[in-house]
Structure 1
Amino acid sequence: MATHDQTDHVTESAEEVVGWETRLRYFLNSDFVRSSPYWGIPFVLMGIAVYGGIGYNLAISFTDYSGLGTPDYSSLDFEMYTQALSSDAFLAAAQNNLVLLVVFTTVCLILGLFLAVLLDHGIRFSEKFQTVYLLPMSLSFVVTAQLWLWMFNVESGILNLIVTTFGFAPVDWIGNPSVALAAVIFALVWQFSGYTMVVYLAGLQSIPDDQFEAARVDGASTIRTYLRIIVPQLKEASVSAAVVLMVFALKAFTFLYALVGRYRPPNGTDILATLMVRRAFKFGEWAYSAAIATMLLVMALGVIGPYLYYQHKQGSL
Structure 2
Amino acid sequence: MKSIKKIITRDKISTILFLIIPIVLVVIFVYIAIIWNVVVSLSDWDGLKPSYDFKGFGQYKDLFTNEIFLTSLWNNIQLILIFVPGSLIMGLFLAILLDQKVRKENVFKLIYLLPFTLSFVVTGFLWKWMYNVSRGVLNTLLESIGLGFFSNNWIQDADWAMFWVCVVLIWQYSGYMMLIFLAGIRSIPESHTMAAAVDGASGFQMYYRIIIPQLKASIFTGFVILLVFALKAFDLIFILTGGGPGYATEILPLTMYKEVFRKKHFSYGSAIATILFLLIMVVVIPYLYSTYRREK
Asked whether the two chains share a fold, i.e. TM above 0.5, the reply is yes
- Answer yes or no: is 1:302 the counterpart of 2:279: no
Q: CA deviation at 1:61?
A: 0.4
Structure 1 position 216, deviation (Å): 1.3
2:139–2:148 contact (8 Å) kept in structure 1: no
1:109 to 81, 84, 88: 88
- Residue 30 of structure 1 and its aligned partner are, at CA, apart by 11
Alignment of structure 1 residues 93-108 onto 2, 5 Å = 93-108=72-87
Identity value in percent: 40
Structure 1 segment 220-239 matched on structure 2, within 5 A: 220-239=201-220
Whether the aligned pair in 1 keeps the contact of 2:115 and 2:175 (CA below 8 Å) is yes
Contact 1:148–1:187 under 8 Å retained in 2: yes
CA distance in 2, matches of 1:40, 1:308: 24
Please list the CA deviations of residues 270-297 of structure 1 after superposition, one character each: whole Å capped at 9, or x if unmatched.
Answer: 1000011011111111111100000000
Q: Could you tell me which residue of structure 1 aligns to residue 136 of structure 2?
A: 157
Q: Can you list the C-alpha shifts for 1:231-256, whole angstroms capped at 9, x where unaligned?
A: 11111111111111111101110111
Q: Distance in 2 between matches of 1:70 and 1:209?
A: 63
Who is 2:17 aligned against?
A: 37
Aligned AA (1:37):
L
Give the drift of 1:265. 6.2
Could you tell me how far 1:301 is from its partner in structure 2? 0.4
- The answer (yes or no) to whether the contact 1:149–1:259 under 8 Å persists in 2 is yes
Query: 3-state DSSP class of the match of 1:60?
Result: helix
- Is 1:66 the counterpart of 2:49? The answer is no
Range with bigger deviation, 293-302 or 200-209: 200-209
Q: Deviation of residue 67 (structure 1)? A: 3.4
User: CA offset at residue 116 of structure 1?
Assistant: 0.3
Q: For the structure 1 residues 301 and 267, does the alpha-carbon distance in structure 2 shift closer, same or farther, using more than 3 Å as the test?
A: same
Aligned counterpart, 2:200: 219
Aligned-residue offset at 1:166 = 1.4
Distance change >3 Å, CA 224–CA 77, structure 1 → 2: same
2:3 corresponds to which residue?
A: none
Equivalent of 1:252 in 233, 236, 245 = 233
CA shift for structure 1 position 172: 2.1
Change (3 A) 1:266 1:30: farther
- The C-alpha deviation readout for 1:94-113, integer Å capped at 9, x for no partner, is 11111212221111111101
CA distance in 1, matches of 2:11, 2:253: 42
User: Is contact 2:158–2:244 with CA below 8 Å preserved after alignment?
Assistant: no
Q: Given that residues 174 and 267 in structure 1 are in contact (C-alpha distance below 8 angstroms), is that contact kept between their aligned partners in structure 2?
A: no
Other-structure match for 2:59: 80
Structure 1, unpaired ranges of 5+: 1-27
User: In the TM superposition, what is the alpha-carbon distance from 1:33 to its structure 2 partner?
Assistant: 6.0
Deviations 1:2-40 (A, max 9, x none): xxxxxxxxxxxxxxxxxxxxxxxxxx9698766221111
**Structure-1-length-normalised TM-score:** 0.85
Q: CA deviation at 1:130?
A: 1.2
Distance 1:158 1:264 in 2: 21
CA contact (8 A) 1:175 1:267 kept: no
2:223 alignment partner in structure 1: 242
SS of the equivalent of 1:258 reads: helix
Name the CA shift for 1:204/1:277 in 2 (closer, same or farther; >3 Å). same
Question: 2:114 is matched with which residue: 121, 126, 135?
Answer: 135
Query: Which residue of structure 2 lines up, in the alignment, with residue 50 of structure 1?
Result: 30
Question: What is the TM-score with the length of structure 2 in the denominator?
Answer: 0.91
Q: Which runs of 5 or more structure 2 residues have no equivalent in the other structure?
A: 1-7
Aligned mates of 1:55, 1:148 — CA distance in 2: 37
SS at match of 2:149: coil
**Partner letter of residue 146 of structure 1?**
F
One-letter identity of the residue aligned with 2:67 = D
* Cα RMSD (Å): 2.1
Deviation at 1:170, TM superposition (A): 3.5
Residues 163 and 268 (structure 1 numbering): CA distance in 2 closer, same or farther, change over 3 Å?
A: farther
Determine helix, strand or coil for the equivalent of 2:250. Answer: coil
CA change 1:286–1:265 in 2 (3 A) is farther
Name the amino acid aligned to 2:283: V
Does structure 1 conserve the Cα–Cα contact (< 8 Å) formed by 2:71 and 2:247?
no
The residue number in structure 1 matching 2:183 is: 202
CA distance in 2, matches of 1:214, 1:129: 29
The answer on whether the counterparts of 2:42 and 2:55 sit within 8 Å (CA) in structure 1 is: yes
C-alpha displacement of 1:135: 0.4
Deviation at 1:307, TM superposition (A): 0.3
Q: Which whole-Å CA distance do the structure 1 matches of 2:12 and 2:277 have between them?
A: 31
Q: Aligned partners of 1:155 and 1:267: how far apart in 2? A: 23
The whole-number CA distance in structure 1 between the counterparts of 2:264 and 2:32 is 22
